[in-house]
Amino acid sequence: MKKEARYLVPGDYMADPAVHVFNGKLYIYPSHDRESGIPENDNGDHFDMCDYHVFSMESIDGEVMDHGVALQVKDIPWAGRQLWDCDCAYKNGKYYLYFPLKDQTDIFRIGVAISDKPEGPFIPQPDPIRGSYSIDPAVFEDENGSFYMYFGGLWGGQLQRYRNNKAQESAVLRQGSEPALPARIVRLSDDMLGFAEEPKALVILDEKGQPLTAGDNQRRFFEASWMHKYNGKYYFSYSTGDTHRLCYAVGDNPYGPFTYQGVILTPVVGWTTHHAICEFKGKWYLFHHDSVPSGGRTWLRSLKVCELEYNADGTIKTIDGGGE
C-alpha cells in the first residue's frame, strides 16, 4: 500500500524518531545526522551525532516546531562519541530522556537525562545506567504504570558482544539455523534512573511456535525496537537491518513471547530503517526516515510521517517504503 508521507524537517537531517503525546502535542525525539568525513562502514563510524533536537506538532499537518538543542555530547560526563537513537518518558512531573552513547572506551552504554519540560533541555546523570549496553532504547508505559525499556542492535550496535548480560571476550554473531540474537526487555526502577531487574531476552516465534533463526534475516530482529498497544495486544516492532524492513510481532504481555505477524514498511531509499508508532487524535501514524533528500546517502536521513492502518483482525497494513 502506497501512503502519502510528509517530510517533517526539510532543513536538517534527522532520523530514528521516537514519538509521544505529551500535553496534547506530538513530541519527536530523533537522532541528528551530520557529515562526518569518515568512510561508511558496518560499525556506523560515519554517523557523527553530537546532539539531540526535540520537535513538537499540534496537528499532524501543522507546523513542526524545533525546540533547539536538548542534549549534547560535550555535556555528558562519561561521553565518548555518537548519540544514537533516543526515547523519552514522563513520570511524576519529570521527563526522562534515554540515550545510547559510546563511552570513552568506545563501548555503547545507555544514559538518562532529566528535564521539567518535554522539549528539554535535559540534564544528564553523571554515569550511564548500571548494567546497560548496546543501543536503541525504547520506553513503554503499561496501563498499570510500569515502565519497560526495549533495547539492542546488531553489528555496530554491539549486541553480539554480550551473553546473559555479560560482555564476552569476543563477539559472536549467530548463524544459519541458530536462534536469532534477541532484543532485550527490562523493567525500569521506580525512580526511572535504573533497571529494576536483569534484562531478559525478547523472543520472536514463527508461525509454528519456534524462535526465528539467525539466518532468517527477512524476519529476525536487528535493531530499532518499538512497543505499542492496540486492542489489548502488545505490538513489538523492529528493523531487520540488512534486509531493510520494518516488521512486527504480537504478544499478550510486555515480555512476550511474541509471534511474528508481518511487514509494516518495505525498504526505503537508504540502508537503515527506524521508526515510531503513535496514536494521535484518533488516528495511528508511522514516523520513520529515508535518504531521498540527501540523494540516497545513508548517513544523512530525513524524518517522515504517514498514516498507519489496521485490518479488522488487528494486523497492520503493509506500507510501501519506495525503496528497493
Work out the pLDDT band at 2, boundaries 50, 70, 90.
Answer: confident
Q: Would you call 16 a catalytic residue per the annotation?
A: yes
Q: For residue 36, what pLDDT is reported? A: 74
pLDDT digits (tens, 9 = 90+) for 60-75: 999 999 999 999 999 9
Residue 124 has pLDDT above 90, yes or no: yes
Among the residue ranges 35-49, 108-122, 215-229, 244-258, the one predicted with the least confidence is 35-49
Q: For residue 175, what pLDDT is reported? A: 94
Q: For residue 42, what pLDDT is reported? A: 72
Work out the pLDDT band at 135, boundaries 50, 70, 90.
Answer: very high
Query: Which amino acid is present at 10?
Result: P
For 158, the grid coordinates are: 554491539
Q: Would you call 143 a catalytic residue per the annotation?
A: no
Q: For residue 37, what pLDDT is reported? A: 77
For 2, the grid coordinates are: 502506497
Work out the pLDDT band at 297, boundaries 50, 70, 90.
Answer: confident
For 239, the grid coordinates are: 528493523
Q: Which of 169, 223, 307, 324 is catalytic?
A: 223
Taking a C-beta distance cutoff of 8 angstroms, is the pair 142, 150 a contact?
no
Q: For residue 309, what pLDDT is reported? A: 98
Residue 312's contacts (CB-CB under 8 Å, 6 or more residues apart) are: none
Work out the pLDDT band at 256, boundaries 50, 70, 90.
Answer: very high
pLDDT digits (tens, 9 = 90+) for 4-45: 899 999 999 999 999 999 999 999 999 999 877 778 777 677
Q: Which of 16, 85, 136, 290 is catalytic?
A: 16
What is the pLDDT of the chain when averaged over all its residues? 96
Q: What is the 3-state secondary structure (H, E, C) of the chain?
A: CCCCCEECCCCCCEEEEEEEEECCEEEEEEEECCCCCCCCCCCCCCCCCCEEEEEEECCCCCCCEEEEEEEEHHHCCCEEEEECCCEEEEECCEEEEEEEEEECCCCEEEEEEEECCCCCCCEECCCCCCCCCCCCCEEEECCCCCEEEEECCCHHHCHHHEECCEECCCCCCCCCCCECCCEEEEEECCCCCCECCCCEEECEECCCCCECECCCCCCCCCEEEEEEEECCEEEEEEECHHHCCEEEEEECCCCCCEEEEEEEECCCCCCCCCCEEEEECCEEEEEEEECCCCCCCCCCCEEEEEEECECCCCCECCECCCCC
Share of the chain above pLDDT 90, in %: 91
Taking a C-beta distance cutoff of 8 angstroms, is the pair 302, 7 a contact?
yes
Residue 216's contacts (CB-CB under 8 Å, 6 or more residues apart) are: 180, 206
Tell if the pTM clears 0.85, that is, is over it. yes
Work out the pLDDT band at 48, boundaries 50, 70, 90.
Answer: confident
Q: What is the mean pLDDT of residues 302-309?
A: 98
The CATH architecture annotation of domain 6-308 reads 5 Propeller (2.115)
User: Residue ranges of the domains in the chain?
Assistant: 6-308
